[in-house]
Amino acid sequence: MTRETKPPASGPLTRRTILRSSALAAGMATVGALSPAVAEAAEPRTTPTDGTELVLLGTGAGPTPSRGRFGISSALVVRGDVYLIDCGLGAVSQYVRSGLDPARLKGIFITHLHADHIADYFTFATFMAPLIMSKTGRVPTVDVYGPPSAGALPARPGAKWVAPHHPTPGLADLTRLSNEAFAYSSNTFIAEGIGFDPATTLRVHEIEVPDVGASPIGDTAPAMKPFPVMRDGNIEVTAILVSHGAVFPSLAYRFETEHGSVVFSGDTTLTPNIPTLAADADLLVHEANDPQWWHDHGASEEFVEHMRETHTDVLDLGTVARQSGVGSLVLSHIGDFQSTADWRRRAHLGARKGGYRGKVTVGEDLMRLTTPGRR
């Protein structure tokens, strides 16, 4: 279930204003023409109208910028419509580079509100919306689904909370506060007759978590059944709570399409809720960490233990995939501290250790995968 937060009202938009805004966006887009490679990448790629495709826009873990991987973000393309899961650093640029059609963006799903999953969230309103306007001549509206306010934080003696009067904003407040932070930029464009209120492009739905005994200061992800989030003519989305340190709620999503099912773990340590949500899915896109690497390279025991308590050891993913009965396991949200070849070696070792015999893929930026269809 979701609780919708309507975007704030904006000033009147005339056809002339829209066209002028579209012209500005089109002019900005032509900058890419200076680079043939960029221009080619920005050209929308034709996707089969009767299939389901997974595009890994960014596969990087954590807030640290990487030379090899952009921030975590995935796109599920169903009949040509695009549904985005998380908006990590560079997600907007990767969306354009992938050739996905901006005008076909139908929904955004946020797993949790850590910075590395929302770095480019409001950028879709401030940068992608003008690009869509340049193609359609109208201000777009995109449905966004994600966590509400946690409501509380675990007690930590001496902690000096950021924004102590409102330390746990949810998705709706994140959107509102982001809009306020960018207000001067937006208002100057409006004053020049070519702008609009970017928050009006985001129709926010805060996901209401069922009462299963979960708590931001207790068990953040007790064993539970998946619950419905939304459905339309292409997809049916369910979610479940997962365990990610102090974060609450932290969500995993399952997307059902007529050509198969795809599950996104979000950030999580080992939890029985993933096999519950991912039971018999075609693709499981799961985060991974490698605590042993950190241990071997001199990280403190406190840091290694933090990695174990908040993320899933790559050597345990085979067991997760086997318990879930998934057709294919895809690693994403992985650190660039070791090579793709090393991740692949560790992932296959984990698959053998866990008795998983399905396909294992180590995700790379802009990799495209298709669902094999109903098994």
pLDDT of residue 41: 38
Domain boundaries, the chain: 2-153+164-370
Q: What DSSP character marks residue 219? A: -
Mean local confidence (pLDDT), 87-107: 96
Q: How far is CA 258 from the centre of its chain?
A: 22
- pLDDT of 31 higher than 60: no
Do the Cβ atoms of 257 and 30 come closer than 8 Å? no
- The model's pLDDT over 277-308, given as tens digits with 9 standing for 90+, comes to 999 999 999 999 999 999 999 999 999 999 99
Mean pLDDT, the chain, whole residue set? 88
How many angstroms separate the CA atoms of 15 and 20, rounded?
9
Question: How would you classify the pairing of strands 251-257 and 260-264?
Answer: antiparallel
Q: How far apart are CA 68 and CA 245, in angstroms?
A: 27
User: Candidates 3.90.1300.10, 3.30.310.50, 3.60.15.10, 3.40.50.300; correct CATH number of 2-153+164-370?
Assistant: 3.60.15.10
Torsion angles phi and psi, residue 205, rounded to 5? -125, 105
Residue 244 pLDDT greater than 90, yes or no:
yes
**What pLDDT does residue 194 have?**
86
Best CA proximity match to 114, nearest among 311, 289, 279, 294: 311
The arrangement of strands across the sheet holding 359-362 comes to 227-231, 236-241, 251-257, 260-264, 283-287, 328-332, 359-362
Summarize the confidence of residues 46-51 as an average pLDDT: 55
pLDDT band at 10 (very low <50, low <70, confident <90, very high): very low
Phi, then psi, of 3 in degrees rounded to 5: -115, 115
Among 274, 370, 287, 325, smallest CA distance to 76 is for: 370
